[in-house]
């Protein structure tokens, strides 16, 4: 059973150009707009995207066809939001760079130099193809540990979104053999659009504009922090938004509230969902509020499966370490089992703390590399 408790079509008597937000949500209020009855919704979306940093998009590529599956999605968002794309390649360090420390003498490394030249030529060619299609594209190459370099570049470079292809591993497998996603999870401080490599076509085949953005919401205040990003994308693309909550067991509900994950709360989150919906209606975004029962992660996955082409946009406290490895989370379950793109937005408190840690590391060992 999934009764729709509230819905709204495009249009609102008040007109207006608000960003979804509530009095108790700092991130939402930070990007609130002044009402204007004659300002087009798309113009609102572009203004909001700039304030959220969505006009700068990072796209990590390793040269494989799998990684290039991210390009059509990044290009689509760039067209919506008039954004600039930065293609990024990380060279895994080998001797002597593997043992290099700041302040030490660096010796020539022919293998690394050849890798840099090849990566530069590759990214330059891809950027040229994108530019021919009217997109703003640049590229950069850096050396280091791939997960840390990607997350550091995204945070220090002021990118509002990173788009990349991943292959989430099961709790049992990542316990002994963590992949790139598992190793970078503890460092993520900026929104990331994850594409499951087994659910997108090689070379971007079958990519279509999203029909809907699904926002899992719960009792925790932090569950609303994904709403501004979904609103910007929905207003720019013309897709509708579904605010989704699920009734779960009391034990699961308490655990999710403590973890700050979206997707639980049911009726207790309804007033908050209706308030978010009202702000979106001011931007003439089509919104519906959907209350369901079941395990949060499976509720979100099931809802996405019912709506082919939909994207999930959810906030998360980004739990890492043993807890995530063993027990996972709602976000983890959606990433592993979802049927489409998942945009994960770290809650403001976690993002700020991780960004400060990244700044300290960069001050000690500045990011280096080649960029154009």
Listed range (67-81, 163-177, 263-277) with the worst mean pLDDT: 263-277
Tokens 């000690």 -> residue:
364
Do 45 and 75 contact (CB within 8 A), yes or no? no
Sign for the CA dihedral angle at 329, 330, 332, 336 comes to positive
pLDDT in tens, 189-246: 999 999 988 777 544 445 788 999 999 987 666 788 999 999 999 999 999 999 998 8
**Per-residue pLDDT, 342:** 95
CA angle, 51 as apex, 259 and 183 as ends, to 5°? 40
pLDDT in tens, 149-186: 999 999 999 999 999 999 887 777 777 777 788 888 88
Residue, of 34 and 1, whose pLDDT is higher: 34
Q: How far is Cα 263 from Cα 256, in angstroms, rounded to an integer?
A: 8
4-371 classified as CATH 3.40.50.150? no
Sign for the CA dihedral angle at 344, 290, 272, 230 comes to positive
Parse the chain into domains and list their residue ranges. Answer: 4-371
Q: What is the mean pLDDT of residues 39-43?
A: 61
Q: Report the DSSP beta bridge partners of residue 58.
A: 86, 162
Do 340 and 304 contact (CB within 8 A), yes or no? yes
Rounded to a whole number, what is the distance in angstroms from the first to the last CA of the chain? 53
Q: How far is Cα 366 from Cα 242, in angstroms, rounded to an integer?
A: 42
% of the chain residues with pLDDT over 90: 41
pTM score: 0.81
Mean pLDDT for the chain overall: 78
Is the pLDDT at 79 greater than 90, yes or no? yes
Return the CA Rg of the chain: 21
């Amino acid at each position: 059973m999934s009764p729709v408790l509230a819905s709204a079509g495009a249009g609102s008597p008040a007109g207006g150009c608000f960003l979804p937000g509530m009095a108790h949500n700092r991130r939402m209020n930070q990007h609130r707009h002044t009402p204007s009855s004659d300002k087009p919704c798309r113009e609102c979306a572009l203004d909001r995207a700039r304030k959220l940093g969505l006009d700068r998009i990072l796209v990590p590529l390793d040269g494989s066809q799998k990684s290039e599956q991210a390009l059509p999605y990044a290009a689509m968002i760039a067209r919506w939001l008039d954004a600039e794309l930065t293609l990024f390649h990380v060279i895994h360090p080998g001797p002597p760079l593997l043992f290099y420390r700041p302040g030490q003498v660096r010796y020539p490394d022919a293998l690394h130099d050849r890798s840099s030249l090849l990566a530069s030529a590759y990214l330059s060619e891809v950027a040229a193809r994108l530019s021919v299609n009217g997109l703003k594209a640049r590229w950069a190459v850096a050396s280091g540990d791939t997960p840390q370099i990607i997350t550091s570049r995204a945070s220090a470079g002021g990118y509002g979104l990173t788009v990349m292809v991943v292959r989430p591993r099961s709790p049992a497998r990542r316990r002994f053999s963590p992949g790139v996603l598992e190793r970078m999870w503890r460092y993520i401080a900026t929104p990331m659009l994850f594409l499951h490599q087994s659910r997108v076509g090689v070379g971007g085949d079958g990519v279509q504009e999203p029909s809907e953005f699904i926002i899992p919401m719960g009792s925790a205040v932090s569950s609303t922090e994904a709403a501004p990003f979904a609103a910007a994308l929905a207003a720019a693309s013309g897709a509708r938004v579904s605010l989704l909550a699920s009734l779960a067991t009391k034990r699961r509900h308490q655990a999710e509230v403590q973890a700050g994950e979206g997707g639980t709360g049911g009726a207790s989150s309804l007033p908050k969902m209706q308030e978010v919906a009202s702000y979106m209606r001011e931007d003439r975004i089509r919104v519906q509020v959907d209350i369901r029962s079941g395990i949060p992660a499976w509720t979100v996955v099931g809802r996405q499966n019912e709506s082919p082409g939909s994207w999930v946009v959810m906030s998360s406290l980004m739990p890492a370490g043993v807890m995530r490895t063993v027990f996972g989370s709602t976000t983890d379950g959606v990433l592993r089992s979802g049927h489409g793109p998942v945009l994960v937005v770290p809650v403001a408190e976690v993002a700020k703390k991780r960004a400060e840690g990244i700044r300290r590391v960069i001050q000690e060992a500045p990011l280096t590399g080649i960029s154009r």
